[in-house]
């Protein structure tokens, strides 16, 4: 993409959106700032999803590539924007125009922006389990396994409860605590469970605030009951069996005897 300029970097759910300006016609791109003001509006975007282990950052071009480097963009200041991803769960796509719009339309509301009424309507309007709804990017965008579990613990809602089964009050509480958690996690630059590092190469701090996720066998911060784990919506789900009463017939996994120490 020679000549393209990154005009803005935005977040869209779990995606990073690199807005790319049109190729420069002249040598000097900076001097045209006063003239062509709106070329970016028709330009495309690079959509980047980091998956689990993706990482994107700029390095001096002379620096040797890290292992699992899959994509490099040479920048005009001599650095290289590099994408590394050990597990290759991440994805990258360049889209523009209606294709870009269409792609972005597939996703649900941003929980940090959506109104309380709309959040409640979404949650109560589906029969799926609340955990599945929180993870479904088409219902709400941006929430992953950690923040789903953390918000459900705070709201005292069992992950296997059906969305449509929640009371309005419960759904409102979930909206509030989810926003609080996401805002705080963003300030603390995320949760570094194993190897996550932010774009500056620094680990996040929010894992210190986890109340449920990864705490199987440890005591609930509210009531002291041992946190349990179950597979809900195909994902490990951590919850307090006392604070978050299960729907009838729900089976959780037996506590591991001495099993592997799961990360706190």
Q: Which residues bind DNA (CB under 7 A)?
A: 13-14, 49, 51-52, 67-68, 86-89, 126-129, 132, 135, 137, 144-146, 194-195, 214, 233-236, 259-261
Closer residue to DNA, CB minimum distance, 76 or 195: 195
Cβ count near 182 (within 10 Å): 19
Closer residue to DNA (CB): 91 or 208? 91
Which residue's CB is nearer to DNA, number 25 or number 65? 65
Q: How far is the CB of 24 from DNA (least distance, A)?
A: 33
Nearer to DNA, 51 or 245 (CB): 51
Q: Cβ 41 to DNA, closest distance in Å?
A: 26
The answer to whether 147 and 103 have CB atoms below 8 angstroms apart is: no
- Contact of 77 with 98, CB cutoff 8 Å: no
Q: How far is the CB of 127 from DNA (least distance, A)?
A: 4
Q: How many residues does the chain have?
A: 264
Report the distance separating Cα 216 and Cα 227, nearest Å.
Answer: 5
Q: Which two tokens stand for residue 217?
A: 């066998």
Separation CA 191–CA 35 (nearest Å): 43
Q: Which is nearer to DNA, 5 or 215 (CB)?
A: 215
CB of 241 to DNA, least distance (A): 18
Q: Positive or negative, the Cα torsion across 257, 158, 175, 129?
A: positive
Element housing 73 (H / E): strand 69-74
Task: Output the smallest distance, CB 101 to DNA, in A.
Answer: 16
């Amino acid at each position: 993409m020679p000549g393209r300029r990154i005009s803005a970097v935005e977040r869209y759910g779990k995606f990073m959106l690199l807005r790319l300006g049109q190729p420069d016609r002249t040598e000097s791109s900076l001097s045209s700032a006063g003239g062509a003001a709106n070329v970016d509006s028709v330009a495309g975007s690079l959509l980047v999803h980091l998956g689990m282990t993706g990482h994107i950052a700029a390095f001096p071009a002379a620096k040797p590539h890290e292992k699992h480097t899959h994509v490099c963009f040479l920048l005009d200041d001599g650095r290289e924007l590099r994408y590394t991803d050990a597990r290759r769960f991440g994805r990258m796509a360049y889209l523009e125009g209606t294709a870009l719009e269409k792609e972005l339309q597939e996703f649900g509301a941003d929980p940090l922006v959506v109104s309380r009424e709309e959040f409640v309507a979404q949650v109560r309007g589906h029969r799926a389990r609340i955990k599945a709804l929180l993870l479904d990017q088409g219902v709400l965008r941006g929430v992953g396994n950690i923040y789903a579990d953390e918000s459900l613990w705070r709201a005292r809602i069992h992950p296997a409860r059906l969305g449509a089964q929640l009371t309005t009050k419960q759904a409102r509480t979930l909206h509030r605590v989810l926003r609080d958690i996401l805002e705080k996690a963003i300030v603390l630059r995320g949760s570094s469970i194993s190897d996550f590092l932010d774009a500056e190469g620094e680990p996040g701090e929010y894992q210190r605030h986890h109340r449920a996720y990864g705490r199987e066998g440890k005591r609930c911060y509210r009531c002291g009951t041992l946190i349990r784990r179950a597979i809900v919506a195909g994902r490990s789900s951590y919850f307090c069996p006392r604070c978050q009463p299960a729907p009838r017939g729900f089976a959780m996994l037996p506590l591991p005897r001495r099993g592997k120490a799961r990360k706190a």
